[in-house]
Structure 1
Amino acid sequence: MQRTQQLLTALVTSYTQVLGSNLVGIYLHGSYVLGSYNEDVSDLDYVVVVHHALTATNKRELMSVTLQKLWPLAPKKGLEFHVLVQAALRPFEALIPFDFHFSKYHYQNYLQAPDQYIQTMHGTDPDLAAHLTILNHYGQVLTGPAIAAVFSPIPPAVYWQALVFDIADAQAEITVDPVYVTLNLCRVLAYQRSGLILSKNGGGRWGLDHLALRWRPLIDAALQTYNGKPASGRIDSSDLTDFATMVLTTIL
């Protein structure tokens, strides 16, 4: 974890230099604050709050330090962040607008057309309600005011909508990305049944304890792979589809 500590220090230093007095704070959420962070399999999730929307120059400078100074220290799945304007966080809005966003998923798009990416990467993201729910409950302040002073509480119904949105295509996606989707489905069920806000790793462990024995090999294999261990046994694609169908039928 020494590399991650270097990353967090560099994150605060470099973003403060770029954003100056416009920076309100930087806040961690995701697996790091949920206790399941692993440099070999995780990404680092954070939110940057600013007083005013960033200029195109600000965004170029932010991307420059992100890729040149932070990316070499990043965990295997990279970095994911949203830039949010403080005024958009209070009062609460169901679809919270973001001023800028980046993750490993967008890495190649940015490299191929950085100016276009900077100009177009803003809007609303249904996933933000889920991110901010975790942040409100478990988040960590890297720099800036306390979380409760900056972020509005997210209504449970809005968090639930974000969870459901994220798994809407699970029947098709589970055979493409079985580890992520299997564990994600488990944590959605854990919230529906027990009101638990869990990481993917935590969701998988909950699934092993609470779901039918039929699904244990599938969930166990997903957990082993997620934690960088060789999975014991082979999971048939039909089992994956059946699991996704069972969860969606249960919650929808």
Structure 2
Amino acid sequence: MGRVSGSNGAITHTQGDHVVWANTRRPALLLPEDAVTLTNFDIAFPDFAKSDAYGFTFATANGFDYSACVSWVSLDPQEWDSGLSFVCNLPAGSNYFEVELTLSRIVAPSSVMGVDGPIPALLGGGGKHMPDGNSALIEGVGPLVRMFAFERVGNAVYLRRKQSVANEGQRVPWNSGNNNSTGSGGYRSGFTYGGNPSAWPVHQIDQRTGGNIDKRRGGPNACSLSDPTNYASLWRGTAVITPGYIKI
């Protein structure tokens, strides 16, 4: 976020040793005649790395044995960086640029945590946006977030996309040894994981109840673990890159 400081009427915004803005400096000189307009401009994010969670219970009530299971898609803790993708060149001598975006989400990701609808958008679709610092959060809920940034390298502008799922350790009290059987082969109620024990259960796949039937993970009567989700996301619209010059 940087630091904003003031002294004797001078206001300065710095990030580390770099002065981002100051009211004692000349403003940026924009070159609208050299602006680049990109239509059908895409900002895309891939599906998340995923695991699963499986709950099983077996009990006797009123002399009747019954069992139940439930299965969930889980999101692994992760950090993803797309790297730099070329957007456009800037005129020689330009050391500054601004971005204006008009975007709509045309491929929405699956829902998470029982939310009615896809992962919430943090950037309003259809309207014009001039992202502060040429970067913005675009989607997020709970432990996951997505963002993008336009970066200048030499005389070119590049797009970088990032997404992450927080790592807060094990969120579920898994069965000891991740096993739904006792040492003698009997039933053990509780949750087991497939993949990453620190993953976040976010989307229910299946649930089954009733009957004296073994519904443990991997059995013929088990809840499905077929993943119905796709958290890939695609935004499309128009990007206007306006180059300029700012005195350093």
Answer 1 or 2: which has greater strand percent.
2
- The TM-score normalised by the length of structure 2 is 0.21
State which structure, 1 or 2, has the greater radius of gyration over its C-alpha atoms. 2
Answer 1 or 2: which has greater helix percent.
1
